[in-house]
Structure 1
C-alpha cells in the first residue's frame, strides 16, 4: 500500500487536516523536479532559508522545499501540544477523582430498585446524581470524552452503555468472575434466594459504619452493591476513553514521523539531493512531538492509566488490565475500519468528493449504457449490448443443436458448442474464463466425447476424460511461469535489473526509446506481458514529468512500450497463454531451445523495425516549438545491493529455464516440462520467498481460460468434428505449397487476434492450423501451429488488442488527459502489426525450416 493511502486509512478521522500534507508535498516535489530539470529555478532570497536549519546552507530546491516542511512541522507541533495538554489535564483530574473516591469509599448515595424499562438512558446523569459530591465536578469533562466515544464507536463507551443496571453490572462482573470459581448449578428458586441474600449483604455492608477487617475487605473497587458497580463502570469508561485518546496521540506522532521520512526520501530521490538525514536529525527529531522525552511522557501516561485500571477494575491484576485496555483499543480500530474506511472507499467508488485534480484517478466503473429501458411488473428492464450478445449466442446454440449442419450427432453438437463459445468469447458478453467453464459442462452433458472406437462415452467417463485433459502439464507450465514472475516482482529483481539497464540508455530520445522497447520485450518474457508494461509505465513517470508540454515523445514512448510488450508475448513459451496452447497442440512437443532459436531473432527484428516506424511517425526527438531537440532525463539505477533472497530467486529461475531448454534430453527422468514447473513452486513457497497470498493472487482467470481452450480442442478432436473440418480444409489447400498456405493463414490469424483476445484467437485457430498442416505433404502441422502462436501476439492494432494496449490506452498526464487516442493505434499499431506478422511469416518461416520444425 502506498504511504498516502496508509496515511489516510490509519489516521484518526477527526484529525485528518492535522497530519502532514503528504500528497500536496509530493506534487510540489514533482514541480521542483520539472523546474530543476529545465533550469528555471528562481533566484532565492536569503530570508527563504529555513529558520529551523540554523547554520545550514540551503540552496536550489532545498531552499524551496524546506520552508514547506517547516510549515507542516509547526502545524503538527501546535496540534500535538494542544492535544497533550488536554489529555494530561484529564488524566490528572481522573487520578484526583480516584483518590477522592477512595476517601469516600462506600459512603455514597444508595441506589433504589429500578425497572429496566424505566431507567434513564443518560448514564452520566445517574452517576452524577448518585455519586459523591466530590466527584460531580469531574463529570462535565467526562461527558465530553464519553460522548465523543459514543460518536466514534462502541469501544469507547464499553459494551454496556445503554443497558439496564443488571446488564451494566455484567460488564464489570465479567472481569471479576475471572478471579472466582464458577458457581455450582442451582434451581431457579435457590438462585433467587441467593441473589436476595447477596443484595441484603451488600446493602448492609455499604450502609454500615464500617471498620476493622470488614472495611479492608470491602472497598468501592470490589463491593457488589449497585452503587459500587456503577461507580466502577463510570471509571472504567473514563479510563478506557482516555487510554484510547493517548494511544491515538502516540499513533499520530509515529505516522507523522514516517510521513516526514517518506516525503524527504522521495524528495532526495527525485531531486538528487541529500536532505533526509540532515533534516530528520537536526529538525524533526528535536521537535517536541518526536523527542525521546515526549515519547517517554506518553508512555508514562499510558502506564498511569494501566495502574488506575488495575486498581479500579481488575482487582490488582496488571496483566489483566493491559489485556482489557488493549482489547478496547483493538475494538476501536476495528470499528474505525468497518465504518470510516468503508465509507471512504465507498465514496471513492461512487466518485463523491473527488477533487478536480484527481479526475480520472477514481475507482469508478461506469455501468454499461442501456439501448432501451422499459418498466416491467418486477422492475425496470434494460436492454444492453451484452444482453443482446448473450441472447444471440443462446439462440444460435439452440438452433444448431436442432438442425444438422455437419455429419454425425457428436460432431454437430460439438459444432454448436464451438459456435456458442466463439460468440461469447468474441463479444465478451460474459467474462472469458466463465465461457471457458461452459466447455467441460456442455461436453459432458451433451455427451460429445467419444472413445478411440467412435463410441460415445457415458457422463462419468466423459467427465474423467475432460478434467484429465484440462489440467495438463501445459497448465502446470503456466503456473510455474506465474511463480517465477511473482518471485521476481516480490523480491524487486525486475525493477533492479531494469533500472540498471535503463541507466545506460543516456539522454538521446531515440536511444531511450529503443532501450525501453528492449526492456519491455525482455520483461514480458518472464513477468508476463500484463505486469511488464505496468512496471515500465511506472518507471517512465519521471521522464514524462520533465518533458516539455505537448511533446511527441510521451505518446511515442507509451505506445512503444505496449507494442514491445506484445512482441515479448511471443518470445518465450511462458510469456503468454497462446504460446502454451500452441505447445500443447504440437506433436512432438517443441523444446524451449528450439522455441528461442526462432522467437528471439524474430522478436529482435520486429522491435527494431517498429522502432524505425515510430521514429518516422512521431519524430519524438524534436521539441514542440521546433527549436532543437529535447533531452531526456536519465534514469538513475537502484543502488540497493543484491540480497541472499534475490540470489536464491535468480538461481532457481535460471536453473528452471535451463531445465526447460533441455527438457527433451532429460525426458526419461522428468517426463514432461510440467514437472520442471514444480521446481520454482516448491523452491519459493517452501523457503518463504512467496506466501499463500501470493499464490492466491496468481492470474487464475488466465489458467481457467487456457484450460477451457484445451478442453475445447480435445472435444473437437474426440467428437469427430475435426475429421469433418479435415475434409473441408483438404479441398481448400489442395494444390497449394506450404509457404502459400503460410501467407494465406497469416493475415487471417492477424485479423482475428486484433479484435479478440490473443488467447482466444489461439484457442480457435491452433486446431485449424493443426488440421491444415496434417493435410499438407510432409504434415508440417507443428510449423503452422508455431507460426499461428507467434502471430497471435502480433495483433496490436487496436486499444483492445491485448493487455499491453489496454494498459497503455489508460495512461494519463497530470491533468487527467489521455496520452494516446484511437488514431495513435490506427496510425502506428496497425502498421506495427503488419510488420511483425511479415517478420514471422518470412524470417520465422526460414528459421523454423532451418531447425527442422
Structure 2
C-alpha cells in the first residue's frame, strides 16, 4: 500500500497539517522528472543534444528538493518541540498531584461530609457541575445520595481536576476492571447512614472511615491500612476515577506523539527514496543522516518519550491498578490509538482483491469480463409485489432454460443419452457465451445435470446409475490437469509475493535503452514472458504499473503511450499460448490429448510461434502508430530509461527460483520419468509442498488462489468426458467425417483456424477451448494418421490469439481502462479494430503455418 494511504489513516486527525506534506513533495518530484526528461529531447531547432542532465542539473535538482525537505523538517521540529513541552509540563503537574493525594490520604473525604438540615434549599441554590472549594458549605448525605443517583458526583478540587458528569453505571463500567462494581448510592448509604436515619448528623469523616474499616474487618481483616488508591468507598472510588482519566489521556497523547515521530521519519525516508528512484539521484542516505540527528528523531528525544510513557504506566499501576503493572499495561493499551498496518501490494494480491470486492469475476484469465458496469435495465414491469426489472442477463437465462427444456423433449441426435448431453451442451454454451451467470457457476451445472439426467455410460455403453455416475464424474473433475493448474497458481503466487517478477522484469527493461522501438519490443517480450509464469491476468497488470514513469514523461498527445499499452496487452495474449500453465485453455487441451505431450514438446512449438508473432505484431504497431515521432512531427522522442532495482536477491528469493526451475525442469522431462512420478500433476505438488512448508506462502495465500478458474476448468473437463461417454462424440464423428472426407490435414487446419479465431474473439478464451477442443478431437479421429493431438494443440494456441476486440481477453480489458493524467483513455475501440484484428490474424497465420510445421517435426 502506498505510504500516502498509510499516512492518511495513521495520522492523528487534529495534527494533520503538522505532518510531512508527502503528496505535495511527490508531485514536485514528478515535475522535476518531467523537466529532466525534457532536457533529453533533441533540440528541434539546432538538432543538437541537450546536455542539461549532467552534474549541474542534477545538483540543482537536489538543492531545490532539499530546500523543500528542510521546510517540512522545520515544521515537524517546531510542532514537536511545542507538543513535547506541553505534555512534559502536564506530566509533571500530574505527578505532583499524585504526591499531594498521597499526603492528603483518606482525610480528603471532607468533600463528601455535608449533613446540613436545609438540604432542599441548598439543592436549589447549587449550580450543576460548579466547582466547590474545601471551604464551601458541606452537603447532607441525603443530598449526596440524590445527586449521585441523578448522575452527578463531586470531584476533589485538585490541580487541573474539574467536576464530571457521569452516571453510576458509567462509573462502574469505567473502573470495572479495577474495583468490585459498587452502586455509589448503595455504597454511601451502607457506610454513612445508619438504619434509615436521614436527619442531621455531626459525625466526622474519621468516624466514618473507622466505621467502614470496622465493618469490612468483620468479614475479612484487611492486610494493610487502606489508602485513597485502595479503599472501596465513594470518595476513594471517585478519586481513582479522576486520576484514571487524567493518566489515560496523557498516555494516549504521548503515544500519539511517538507515532507522530515514527510516521514522519518514515515519510522522509520514503520521499527521498522516491526522489532517488525517479530522478536517478543518491540523496536518500545523505539527507536521512541529517534527519536522524534532528530533535524529534534523535535517540535522546525517543528516550524522553519512552521514559514519560513508562512513568505514566507506573502512575496508573499505583493509582488505578492497585499495584498490578500487567493490568495497567493492558488497560492503557486498550485506550491507545491503534495504527493501521499496511502491507505492500503484489500483483497477485491486487488481482484477487479486485475479485473479492466484486469488481471482477476472474473466472477466466483470458476471456471473462473482469470489470462490470451496472447492468442497464431494459424495462421495469410493475407487479403486485413490486417492480420486476428485465435485464439482458435475465433474458439470456430464460432463453437458455427454454432451449434446454425444448431440446430435452425433442429428439435431435440419435440415442437418449446423446440427446440429453446435446441439450446440456447447448444450455451451458448459451450461459457461457452470454455470461448470464458467473462462468464457474455454469461449470457447476455440468456434473449436476450429467448425473440427474443419467447421461454417463460405462465402457460397454450401458447407462450408469446415479451413484456410479457421481463417482465417475467427480473422479475425472479433479484430474492431474487440475493439480497442474494449482501448481501454476502456486508458482505465480510465490514469484509475485517475493517480488521476483518485478525485480527480474525491471532488470531486463533497464537494458532496453531509450529508443522507442527498442523499448516497445522489450516491453512486449517481457509481457509475453511474464504471462507464461504469472498468467496473462497478472502480467499486464504488472507491466502497466511499470510503464507509469514512462507515460508521465512523454510529450502531450504522444503516440507512444497508446502504442505501448496496446502492445503490452497483445503480447500478454500471445504469452497465454507460450506455456502449459499460462492459461486454462492450454490445460484443457493437455487433458484432451492422448497421449499427453510433455513441456519440452510444448515449448518446442509454442516458443518459436510466440516469438515470431511478437515480432510481426511489433512491426504492425510501428507502422500503424509511428511511436518514435514527436507529436509535432519534427524529430524523435526519447524514452525515460527504466532503472533496475539495487536490492540484492535474498535467500528466500533464491529458494523460490530454485524450486520453480526444478519443477519446470521435471515437467519438461516428464515422459522420461513417468514410471516414477506418474503424471505432471504429481510434479505440480512439489512447489505446493515446498513453498507452504517453508513459509514462503501461507494459508491466506492458498485461500487467495483463483478457485473460480479451477472450477471452470473442472466443469469443462467434465463436459468433455460427458460428450464422449454419452455417445454424442460418436454422432459428431459421423457428421464430421462427411465434412472432411477427401480433405488433407492442412486443408482441415486452414478451415478450423478461422472458426476458432472468430469464436475466441467474442467469448471467453477458456470457454472457446471447452467448446472447440472436443470438435478438434473428433475431427482428428476421422483423418488419416489420427492427428488428434495436432488439431487440439492448434486449437489451444489459436484460442489465445483472439484479441481483436476490447472484450477479447483480460489483457485487452485492462488496456482499455488505462487513463492519462487528465483522466482520458489512451485507447478506444478504433485502436483495437485497427490493430487488434490484424494482430489476431497474424498470430493465427503463424500458428497454422509455422506452428503446423513444428508440430509435424516433433511427431504430432
The TM tier, using the shorter chain, reads: 0.7 to 0.9
1:149-175: CA deviation from partner (whole Å, max 9, x where unpaired): xxxxxxxxxxxx96535x733653533
Which residue of structure 2 aligns with residue 288 of structure 1? 295
Query: Does the 8 A contact of 2:451 with 2:469 survive in 1?
Result: yes
1:681-709: CA deviation from partner (whole Å, max 9, x where unpaired): 11111112112222122221111111111
Which residue of structure 1 aligns with residue 280 of structure 2? 272
Residues 1:261 and 2:277 aligned together: no
Change over 3 Å in CA distance of 1:200–1:103 after alignment to 2 = farther
By how many angstroms is 1:57 displaced? 12
Of the structure 1 ranges 206-215 and 830-839, higher mean CA displacement relative to structure 2 is found in: 206-215
Q: Distance in 2 between matches of 1:465 and 1:71?
A: 72
Change over 3 Å in CA distance of 1:71–1:736 after alignment to 2 = same
Q: Distance in 1 between matches of 2:626 and 2:715?
A: 44
Which residue of structure 2 aligns with residue 733 of structure 1? 740
Q: Which has the larger radius of gyration?
A: 2
Is the partner of 2:820 in helix, strand or coil? Answer: coil
Q: Distance in 1 between matches of 2:175 and 2:420?
A: 71
By how many angstroms is 1:279 displaced? 1.6
Of the structure 1 ranges 454-463 and 297-306, higher mean CA displacement relative to structure 2 is found in: 454-463
Which residue of structure 2 aligns with residue 845 of structure 1? 852
- Equivalent pairs counted in the alignment come to 776
Q: Distance in 2 between matches of 1:763 and 1:797?
A: 20
Which residue of structure 1 aligns with residue 464 of structure 2? 457
Query: Does the 8 A contact of 1:787 with 1:844 survive in 2?
Result: yes
Which residue of structure 2 aligns with residue 25 of structure 1? 25
Which residue of structure 2 aligns with residue 156 of structure 1? none
- Given candidates 457, 470, 475, the residue that maps to 1:468 is 475
Q: Distance in 1 between matches of 2:372 and 2:848?
A: 40
Change over 3 Å in CA distance of 1:809–1:481 after alignment to 2 = same
- Given candidates 719, 723, 729, the residue that maps to 1:716 is 723
Q: Distance in 2 between matches of 1:120 and 1:333?
A: 39
Matches within 5 A, 1:373-522: 373-522=380-529
Q: Distance in 1 between matches of 2:407 and 2:192?
A: 84
Gaps of 5+ in 1: 42-55, 144-160, 179-191, 337-344, 352-362
Change over 3 Å in CA distance of 1:206–1:607 after alignment to 2 = farther
Matches within 5 A, 1:32-431: 32-39=32-39, 59-106=59-106, 107-108=108-109, 109-110=111-112, 126-127=152-153, 130-134=154-158, 137-139=160-162, 164-165=168-169, 168-169=171-172, 171-176=174-179, 206-208=208-210, 217-282=225-290, 284-329=291-336, 366-431=373-438
Q: Distance in 2 between matches of 1:484 and 1:418?
A: 33
Q: Distance in 1 between matches of 2:58 and 2:266?
A: 23
Q: Distance in 2 between matches of 1:747 and 1:117?
A: 92
Superposition TM-score, scaled by structure 2 size: 0.85
Which residue of structure 2 aligns with residue 46 of structure 1? none
1:582-638: CA deviation from partner (whole Å, max 9, x where unpaired): 000000111111111111111111111111111111111111111111111221222
1:127-151: CA deviation from partner (whole Å, max 9, x where unpaired): 4xx223345x5227xx7xxxxxxxx
Residues 1:556 and 2:563 aligned together: yes
Of the structure 1 ranges 594-603 and 727-736, higher mean CA displacement relative to structure 2 is found in: 727-736
Q: Distance in 2 between matches of 1:730 and 1:557?
A: 46
Q: Distance in 2 between matches of 1:491 and 1:251?
A: 29
Of the structure 1 ranges 777-786 and 448-457, higher mean CA displacement relative to structure 2 is found in: 448-457
Q: Distance in 1 between matches of 2:603 and 2:479?
A: 23
Change over 3 Å in CA distance of 1:586–1:365 after alignment to 2 = closer
Query: Does the 8 A contact of 2:444 with 2:711 survive in 1?
Result: yes
By how many angstroms is 1:74 displaced? 2.9
Query: Does the 8 A contact of 1:104 with 1:132 survive in 2?
Result: no
Of the structure 1 ranges 228-237 and 13-22, higher mean CA displacement relative to structure 2 is found in: 13-22
Of the structure 1 ranges 397-406 and 805-814, higher mean CA displacement relative to structure 2 is found in: 397-406
Query: Does the 8 A contact of 1:169 with 1:230 survive in 2?
Result: no
Change over 3 Å in CA distance of 1:601–1:113 after alignment to 2 = farther
Question: Hey, which of these two has a bigger chunk of helix by percent?
Answer: 1
By how many angstroms is 1:68 displaced? 2.3
Query: Does the 8 A contact of 2:161 with 2:242 survive in 1?
Result: no
Query: Does the 8 A contact of 1:746 with 1:837 survive in 2?
Result: yes
Matches within 5 A, 1:498-647: 498-647=505-654
Change over 3 Å in CA distance of 1:203–1:385 after alignment to 2 = farther
Is the partner of 2:59 in helix, strand or coil? Answer: coil
Q: Distance in 1 between matches of 2:4 and 2:173?
A: 43
Query: Does the 8 A contact of 2:112 with 2:144 survive in 1?
Result: no
Query: Does the 8 A contact of 2:191 with 2:212 survive in 1?
Result: no
1:76-111: CA deviation from partner (whole Å, max 9, x where unpaired): 233333433433343233323323332332232339
Change over 3 Å in CA distance of 1:296–1:734 after alignment to 2 = same
Of the structure 1 ranges 445-454 and 269-278, higher mean CA displacement relative to structure 2 is found in: 445-454
Is the partner of 2:177 in helix, strand or coil? Answer: helix
By how many angstroms is 1:63 displaced? 2.7
Change over 3 Å in CA distance of 1:801–1:173 after alignment to 2 = closer
Higher relative contact order (CA 8 A, sep 6+): 2
Of the structure 1 ranges 92-101 and 464-473, higher mean CA displacement relative to structure 2 is found in: 92-101
By how many angstroms is 1:317 displaced? 2.2
Q: Distance in 2 between matches of 1:313 and 1:113?
A: 28
By how many angstroms is 1:812 displaced? 1.3
Change over 3 Å in CA distance of 1:774–1:234 after alignment to 2 = same
Of the structure 1 ranges 664-673 and 96-105, higher mean CA displacement relative to structure 2 is found in: 96-105
By how many angstroms is 1:670 displaced? 0.3
Query: Does the 8 A contact of 2:9 with 2:340 survive in 1?
Result: no
By how many angstroms is 1:458 displaced? 2.3
